[in-house]
Amino acid sequence: MDGGIAVIGAGGFVGARLLEMAVLGGRTDVVPVVRAVRSMGRIAQLGLAYRVGDAGRPDSLASAIAGCEVVVNLTKGDAREILSTTENVHAAAVAAGARLLVHLSSAAVYGAAFPADLPDDAPPLPGHWMPYAREKGRAENFLRTRMGDPSLSIVVLRPMLIWGPGSPYVLGTATSLIDGSAWLVGDGSGICGLMYVDNLVRAILAVAAHPAPSSAFFHVGDDETTTWAEYYAALASGLCVDPSTIHRLPAGAYRPRVGDLLDGVRGSDAYRWLKDRVPLETRAGLKLRIARARSRGATSGRTVKSSPAVTRELWNLQTIRHRLPTGRFAATFPATSTTSFSAGMASSLTWLRFIGIGDAAA
Amino acid sequence: MRRAATLDLAVVGCGAVVERLYRGALRALEARGVARVSALVDPDPARTSALGQHFPAARAFSTLADALAARRVALVIVTSPARLHAEHAIAALGAGCHVLCEKPMTIGVTDAERMVAAARDAGRVLAVGMTRRMYPCVADAREVISSGTLGTDLRFVHREGLVYEWPVATDAAFRMATAGGGVLVDLGSHALDLESTLLGALRVTSYADDAQDGGVETNCRVELTGPVARGVAQLSWNQPLVTALHVTGTLGELILDPRQVGALRWRRHGDAWNTRVSTATWPSDLALRGARGMPRHHHDCIYYQIVAVLRAIVHGESVPADGLDGLATARSIEACYARPQPLCLPWLTDAEQTRMDLRHHGRERWTAA
């Protein structure tokens, strides 16, 4: 295919929606590129031709994106692979002669404390505590060094919190609201930097449609500013959850919890080494024992589920005081954030009922 | 008590299903002297070689015909791609072997009928891998429902879904021509069988899915009705559905997680939930009054299922699910695909939904009909 758009990471949340919007929008020039064939299961309803390309191997990627003039990098994967994957995608785009690389980064690279007027090309926070954010930042730094190449434009998009039907932020929040473990820091006035998934897809496609975009970084997000309290309240209302059940945690410095320790263990090489060697049957048995132990706790009167499930990542997100300025993107590309907060919330709530959350029939 | 002779098995298709699901059970059967894997069949020698490392008595074959000519086996376990199930099962039955066929038993009713006829003509066992029938919670749910605890006028909502992650080597599962369908064939084979196991015969009254030109459905919704119950099954390959079978009657309700072997809750209306502690056990070996055990997880259920099939061969006991059960499921699936409606997907814009309706594969089928 000549002139097409290769979507690397097409089996993910954003990639799947991008493919769906493109196909149902009548486009035939978007090519899903997946690392493993199983990723096509998520979009098998579309009946698309696809290509297999491993972002861990530049040669494999280059042939997968051959003939495409735009490459969209939506790969996620392991945090430790973000930089190498980005390097490989870039190398493949160069090798394939693409004119544009659209790279999805994250506003997480700035941590929670940044000024309201943070420029789009501000460098990432060095040494971020969260591996994902730190590696996303390193990937940005790498792309920054390649932006001088006139043959390949590089556009980096930085959304903060991608939400909408299918988003873990919608599902996780809805689940916590229903089981009573939802929480807000202080009065919930922290800024919830939302970007509705359809708005993000439209932003990506707008960049791809630009005939000659200059290499640049862009903050992107929904047009409206929403606080965490407003976001939770809207979801709670749609799910008929009493908002007074949302735990209010005193604002202040984050105090590390047991879960942080477990996350550290799960991210370690030793854990992965062990996990790869434990037979499936044994893992299934262990999971069952843990589940039984938890259910014993639940039935013994301890309020396991109603405790606030605090994570450092969500705490930091809730303590953000500003939304990133998105004016530069809006001035460069046509209006893309056309789905409003209320419309996005309505779709999200309908989706939650579709999957069985808040559905009276279930 | 005389120990039963070890039975020889052949495995046809040495891909992910065997690697991830059957291997442990087959090794346990060998370790306990119940059965021995003597033939591994797959056109890919790398697969038979990798699997063969776990089964020292097994010889590798590239075709089932070669295996049946060289080895005398009692049971052939068919784990090849679904489109080959009928061919492999009928060949094995014709050679005098008994067959345990993975789900879906076939793509289409015609092949299912051929398999049932072949088993009948050969006088051999044809079992279908409906492993969930071995779940203790399913046995318990059956008891709760049949005892009348839930009352009458049973209604059910059955949801199963998550993002597809089975490690397929090819895209055969995502093509109508090779898979015969998508999530309905895959998860639906289990779901429809589970519903009929618990709630009796059910008839498809309507069906909607999201399959578009050249694709297979990743979301579907089936409405079913029967003499005892009626309800809805919703399945997905790309949405994290709240997976559960929820049955409500005039007197009470029951919730079963079809992915957990021991998860069952039930209650009378207005009462607190009962968490059922299962006592269901299955024979662990071929001895007539031998040991019994309770499965702890899905892999255990595969072990007990194979034992049950071997006992059917040796003692004439019934199998958990036979060819007629597989045929019934194939008929339900075919009834769904006979007249599919476009599914309404709540995340689509109006324009997208209209476009999806136009691209829906059902239009092609109706036009062709």
Across chain A, how many H-helices and E-strands are there? 13, 11
Residue B263 φ/ψ, nearest 5 degrees? -95, 110
Sequence-distant (6+) residues with CB within 8 A of B338 are B365
Average pLDDT over residues A35-43: 94
List, for residues B209-247, the tens digit of each pLDDT value. Answer: 999 998 999 999 999 999 999 999 999 999 999 999 999
Instruction: Name residue, tokens 């789905």.
Output: A339
Q: Is the pLDDT of residue A345 over 50?
A: yes
Q: Is the pLDDT of residue A276 over 80?
A: no
Q: 3-state DSSP call for residue A248?
A: strand
CB proximity A355 to B under 8 Å: yes
CB proximity A26 to B under 8 Å: yes
Average pLDDT over chain B, rounded to whole? 94
pLDDT for A291: 58
Of A16, A164, A356, the CB nearest to B238: A16
pLDDT for B232: 98
Structure tokens at B365: 């089928």
CA–CA distance, B173 with B81 (Å, rounded to integer): 9
Q: Is A284 exposed, middle or buried (0-12, 13-18, 19+ CB in 10 A)?
A: middle
Closest to A96 measured CA to CA, from A70, A131, A134: A70
Q: Is the pLDDT of residue B116 over 80?
A: yes
List, for residues A134-166, the tens digit of each pLDDT value. Answer: 999 999 999 999 999 999 999 999 999 999 999
pLDDT for B14: 96
* Contact in structure between A134 and A127 (CB atoms under 8 Å): yes
With CA atoms as reference, the chain A residue closest to B350 would be A24
pLDDT for A283: 65
Looking at CA atoms only, how far is residue B174 from chain A in angstroms?
A: 6
Q: Is the pLDDT of residue B299 over 80?
A: yes
Q: Do A24 and B356 touch (CB under 8 A)?
A: yes
Average pLDDT over chain A, rounded to whole? 89
pLDDT for B247: 98
Q: Is the pLDDT of residue A48 over 80?
A: yes
Chain A residues whose beta carbon lies within 8 Å of the beta carbon of residue B238: 16, 41-43
Closest to A9 measured CA to CA, from A77, A99, A106: A77
Residue A341 φ/ψ, nearest 5 degrees? -60, -45
Chain A residues whose beta carbon lies within 8 Å of the beta carbon of residue B300: 281
Label residue A3 by pLDDT band (50, 70, 90).
Answer: confident
Of A38, A299, A347, the CB nearest to B168: A38
Closest to B294 measured CA to CA, from A288, A290, A278: A288
CA angle A282, A285, A290 (to 5 degrees): 125
CA angle B6, B7, B12 (to 5 degrees): 140
Give this complex's ipTM.
0.91
CA–CA distance, B284 with B292 (Å, rounded to integer): 5
Interface test with B, best of A45, A283, A355, A357 (most B CBs within 10 A): A45
Average pLDDT over residues A327-348: 94
Residues 258-287 of A with CB under 8 A from B: 279-281, 284-285
Closest to B297 measured CA to CA, from A295, A262, A279, A266: A279
The amino acid occupying position B227 is P
Of A38, A47, A362, the CB nearest to B213: A47
Q: Do A165 and B346 touch (CB under 8 A)?
A: yes
Residue A36 gets the label, from left (phi > 0), alpha (psi -120 to 50) or beta, of: beta
List, for residues B181-202, the tens digit of each pLDDT value. Answer: 999 999 999 999 999 999 999 9
CB proximity A360 to B under 8 Å: no
Of B157, B217, B218, the CB nearest to A362: B157
Chain centroid, CA B125 distance in Å: 17
pLDDT for A277: 65
Residues in chain A: 362
Q: Is the pLDDT of residue A275 over 80?
A: no
Give me the percent of chain B exceeding a pLDDT of 70. Answer: 97
What interhelical angle do A13-24 and A197-209 show, nearest 10?
70
Query: Number of A:B CB contacts under 8 A?
Result: 134
Label residue A281 by pLDDT band (50, 70, 90).
Answer: low
* Contact in structure between A98 and A153 (CB atoms under 8 Å): no
Of B157, B171, B347, the CB nearest to A165: B347
Structure tokens at B33: 């002297």
Q: Do A347 and B346 touch (CB under 8 A)?
A: yes
With CA atoms as reference, the chain B residue closest to A27 would be B355
- DSSP label at A124? P
Give the count of beta carbons closer than 10 Å to the beta carbon of residue A257: 14
Q: Do A41 and B210 touch (CB under 8 A)?
A: no
Q: Do B213 and A23 touch (CB under 8 A)?
A: no
pLDDT for B369: 44
pLDDT for A77: 81
Label residue B262 by pLDDT band (50, 70, 90).
Answer: confident
Q: Do B355 and A284 touch (CB under 8 A)?
A: no
Closest to B51 measured CA to CA, from B71, B79, B86: B79
pLDDT top residue among A40 and B3:
A40
pLDDT for B275: 86
Sequence-distant (6+) residues with CB within 8 A of B304 are B134, B282, B283, B284, B293, B295
Give me the percent of chain B exceeding a pLDDT of 90. Answer: 87
List, for residues B74-112, the tens digit of each pLDDT value. Answer: 999 999 999 999 999 999 999 999 999 999 999 899 999
CA–CA distance, A268 with A277 (Å, rounded to integer): 15
Q: Do A41 and B237 touch (CB under 8 A)?
A: yes
Residues in chain B: 369
CA–CA distance, B283 with A176 (Å, rounded to integer): 42
The amino acid occupying position A17 is R
pLDDT for B144: 94
CA–CA distance, B306 with B37 (Å, rounded to integer): 12
pLDDT for A57: 83
Q: Do A279 and B24 touch (CB under 8 A)?
A: yes
Label residue A26 by pLDDT band (50, 70, 90).
Answer: very high
pLDDT for B323: 98
Q: Do A37 and B215 touch (CB under 8 A)?
A: no
Structure tokens at A43: 């979009």
pLDDT for A301: 36
Q: Is the pLDDT of residue A303 over 60?
A: no
With CA atoms as reference, the chain A residue closest to B262 would be A288
Of B173, B214, B237, the CB nearest to A42: B237
Q: Is the pLDDT of residue B38 over 60?
A: yes
pLDDT for A352: 97
List, for residues B123-139, the tens digit of each pLDDT value. Answer: 999 999 999 999 999 99
Chain A residues whose beta carbon lies within 8 Å of the beta carbon of residue B240: 171, 355
CA–CA distance, A214 with B244 (Å, rounded to integer): 51
pLDDT for B287: 93
CA–CA distance, B340 with B317 (Å, rounded to integer): 39
Of B237, B299, B359, the CB nearest to A44: B237
With CA atoms as reference, the chain B residue closest to A197 would be B347
The amino acid occupying position A37 is V
Q: Is the pLDDT of residue A265 over 80?
A: no
